[in-house]
Amino acid sequence: MARVLTPLILLVALLAIAMVTDRPRPPADFAFANGSDINTLDPQRMSWMPDLRVGRLLHEGLVKHDVLSSTFDVVPAVAESWTVSNDGRTYTFTFRDDAKWSNGERVTPDDFRYSWRRAMLPDLASDYFAMFMFVEGAQAFYDQRAADIAAYAERPAEERTQESADALWAETVARFDATVGMKALDDRTLEITLAQRVPYFLDLCAFTVLAPVYPPLVEQYEKPDAASGRLLRRPGWTKPGVLVTNGAFMLADWRFKREVRLEANEHYWDRASLAIDSISIPSIPDPNSEVLAYQTGAVDWVSDVTAGYRGDMIADKLAFRAEHADRVAELEAQGLDPFEIDRLLPDDPRKNVHAPSAFGTYFWNFNCQERLPDGRDNPFHDARVRRAFAMVVDKKTIVDNVRRLGEKTAGVLIPPGSIGGYPNPTGLPNVGDAKTPAEAEKIVADARALLAQAGYPNPATDFPITVELVFNKDSGHDLIAQTIAKNWQQHLGVPVSLSQKELKVYRDDLKKKRFITSRAGWYGDYGDPTTFLDLSRTGDGNNDRGYSNPAYDALLERAASEPDPQRRLNILADAERLIMEEDVPMIPIFHYAHVMMFDPQKITGISAHPRMKQYASLVDVLGDGKGPDQPRTMHDGSRNTNPRSPVPTGELSSASETEGVP
């Protein structure tokens, strides 16, 4: 019997050893679910939302966004103040004295020059390298480096030694110092010269990808390679105990696909503002488990709820709000933000799911080219046809019955209220917005009249093509496509067909313009209308519709050379009006909502601004005895146009031409 038990004893011993070597950590002040795991903590290589959510806690750029301001203001970070030259091309940043790395060293202008130079190298393959090309000389520097490397690769093998690779690298560094518009005027002053005026440059500077890395550390891991002449990038410096950062938090622990643990950076200049000392970010790859983790208290905040049943959760939330409609109206009248309203409503688990609108829009593409992929004439080349088709798509049904996330129907491309001072156009009348059946009939009649003008008085018989709707097979696009197809068939009588594709095929078809109509969507990259409007510029890499109107391009050009920020925004609004009310290369259907979970009575400091950028460093856990334990609500921004508006009126925070000190 003893011998039989031996394997059992061995196994128990093994179990004990494994358990002892793997002790659990004490709970953190604040825990949030951030999907599976982050890809990288190297700021210049980030591009995924989960990475950026963690990255902006660790890394801090020249400036940052006040995400709790209604106008999404740019506020000082490493730079305590800045000035902009009259031509809008030269920015001079003055660094604060107490901007420190987590090892206590000062953050210097040279740290930024080093980090931005990294991103301007073809060697590093930064996803966002195009953002750095705004700096004067950056494009030429990038191109020259690429050419140098190509020439190096052509050299005979015996000439490709470590010495020659090092020499090429020294030459590159010298060229950067001489030609790229980044100068350290002294150890507290950085002057950046841009190739041309970029009205949203400060907004870009608040982006984590433009935050600095610690040069003495990263240099150890990036060395010129003798064989190719490139810098070889080795991982390893983004690990706890090694990584040196300058943000509010520092990396205490990172166990792969298990947990990222952050602790307050004692050298951070604004350490006193932090109301939590530690953050735990467990890795939870399964969307349903994220919700369960919240419900059982393992995490305080689910940053992005993607569980399949989130529509039902939102429906419960809307029902809860409806039960308290009077109180909600009263609180809304006081101009409170949605999370603060939820906090003041009676305790109820249904209220812990939130779906504020995000900085993105779901739309339906028309192929606007003269000919269809098969060579036939394209009826959608005629803007009147596109307008007619756009008017009869019942957006309200799609939002209310298909998506069910409480999203807002979209009349235009740019989510209203997301960019301050920007006068959104209204868009076309839409059959879903009609208050009465008569009004709806009128809109349909108008649409049919447009078709008749275009030469299709009886579209059921004389519309020359079957209208194909292309979409990828996941995420419920099929249901939206069916609704749209039904609208077109019912209201216009045109023949339709649905075409469901694999994601990769769908993407490829869009890029090669092999479609008649197709689903699409876009999230803005930065706080300026051009992040959406560039999509319709002639020849733009993302202009899948093949739309081209010289008048539109001219408006964008005019805006680019307009020095007055408000006038520039007005011109851009004219451009958006042109594509949303006249030419309609795409039908905006709804503005995306961003679904998250947290208890507003416990967690505060989450932003409700549509830009949906969150700094977990702003979080205060109410009643934990740390920090002020006061609700951190949305507040009016510096240039709010409508002080009574509830949250986001927004503000083109980056367009400031004057002193940047608030």
Residues engaged in binding another protein (CB under 8 A): 1, 3-4, 6-8, 10-12, 14-15, 18-19, 21-22, 24, 33, 37, 39-42, 45, 47, 122-123, 125, 127, 146, 149-150, 216-217, 219-221, 225, 227-228, 230, 232, 234-239, 241-242, 244, 255-259, 282-286, 289-290, 292-293, 295-296, 298-299, 503, 507
Structure tokens given for 378: 């394209």
Output 286 or 564, the one with its CB closest to another protein: 286
Alpha helices in 415-520 (DSSP H): 437-453, 459-462, 477-487, 503-511
β-strand 231-233 against 249-255: which pairing, if any? unpaired
Amino acid at 660: G
Instruction: Please say whether the beta carbons of 304 and 353 come within 8 A.
Output: no
Output 236 or 308, the one with its CB closest to another protein: 236
Q: How far is the CB of 102 from another protein (least distance, A)?
A: 12
Output 44 or 424, the one with its CB closest to another protein: 44
Q: How far is the CB of 51 from another protein (least distance, A)?
A: 10
Q: How far is the CB of 13 from another protein (least distance, A)?
A: 9
Q: How far is the CB of 106 from another protein (least distance, A)?
A: 14
Output 280 or 649, the one with its CB closest to another protein: 280
Q: How far is the CB of 492 from another protein (least distance, A)?
A: 34
Q: How far is the CB of 254 from another protein (least distance, A)?
A: 8
Q: How many Cα neighbours within 13 Å face the side chain of 449?
A: 6
**Counting beta carbons within 10 angstroms of the beta carbon of residue 495, is it exposed (0 to 12), middle (13 to 18) or buried (19 or more)?**
middle
380 phi and psi, to 5 degrees?
-80, 0
CA distances (Å), 409 to each of 289, 412, 616, in order? 30, 9, 30
Q: How far is the CB of 148 from another protein (least distance, A)?
A: 12
Structure tokens given for 513: 């313009």
Output 147 or 449, the one with its CB closest to another protein: 147
Q: How far is the CB of 527 from another protein (least distance, A)?
A: 20
Of 498, 507, 502, the residue nearest 467 (C-alpha): 498
Give the angle 607-92-137 at the CA atoms, nearest 5°.
Answer: 100
Output 235 or 550, the one with its CB closest to another protein: 235
Q: How far is the CB of 145 from another protein (least distance, A)?
A: 11
Of 503, 483, 518, the residue nearest 373 (C-alpha): 518
Distance of alpha carbon 464 from alpha carbon 193, whole angstroms: 54
Of 550, 572, 551, the residue nearest 561 (C-alpha): 572
Distance of alpha carbon 385 from alpha carbon 390, whole angstroms: 9
Helix (H, G, I), strand (E, B) or coil at 425: coil
Of 51, 625, 597, the residue nearest 297 (C-alpha): 597
Output 500 or 645, the one with its CB closest to another protein: 500
Q: How far is the CB of 131 from another protein (least distance, A)?
A: 12
Given the structure tokens 């307050």, which residue do they identify? 264
CA distances (Å), 566 to each of 90, 419, 442, 451, in order? 20, 12, 36, 37
Output 295 or 458, the one with its CB closest to another protein: 295
Structure tokens given for 200: 């949203």
Output 435 or 504, the one with its CB closest to another protein: 504
Instruction: Please say whether the beta carbons of 337 and 646 come within 8 A.
Output: yes
Instruction: Please say whether the beta carbons of 37 and 257 come within 8 A.
Output: yes
**Counting beta carbons within 10 angstroms of the beta carbon of residue 236, is it exposed (0 to 12), middle (13 to 18) or buried (19 or more)?**
exposed
Q: How far is the CB of 472 from another protein (least distance, A)?
A: 10
Distance of alpha carbon 94 from alpha carbon 202, whole angstroms: 14
Dihedral, CA atoms, 337, 339, 340, 345, nearest 10 degrees? 120
Q: How far is the CB of 511 from another protein (least distance, A)?
A: 12
Q: How far is the CB of 426 from another protein (least distance, A)?
A: 33
Instruction: Please say whether the beta carbons of 81 and 659 come within 8 A.
Output: yes
Output 236 or 623, the one with its CB closest to another protein: 236
Given the structure tokens 């964008």, which residue do they identify? 556
Output 7 or 375, the one with its CB closest to another protein: 7
Q: How far is the CB of 363 from another protein (least distance, A)?
A: 18
Q: How far is the CB of 357 from another protein (least distance, A)?
A: 22
Output 99 or 231, the one with its CB closest to another protein: 231
Output 14 or 449, the one with its CB closest to another protein: 14
Q: How far is the CB of 191 from another protein (least distance, A)?
A: 27
- Which residues, 6 or more positions from 79, have their beta carbon under 8 angstroms from its beta carbon? 62, 63, 93, 94, 95, 96, 190, 660
Structure tokens given for 293: 């983790």
Output 26 or 437, the one with its CB closest to another protein: 26
Output 299 or 410, the one with its CB closest to another protein: 299
Output 90 or 139, the one with its CB closest to another protein: 139
Output 360 or 565, the one with its CB closest to another protein: 360
CA distances (Å), 627 to each of 137, 264, 270, 326, in order? 45, 13, 13, 33
- Which residues, 6 or more positions from 654, have their beta carbon under 8 angstroms from its beta carbon? 74, 199, 200, 201, 202, 203, 204, 526, 527, 528
Give the strands of the sheet with 353-354, arranged side by side.
249-255, 259-264, 278-282, 30-33, 301-302, 596-598, 353-354
Instruction: Please say whether the beta carbons of 641 and 649 come within 8 A.
Output: yes
Q: How far is the CB of 218 from another protein (least distance, A)?
A: 9
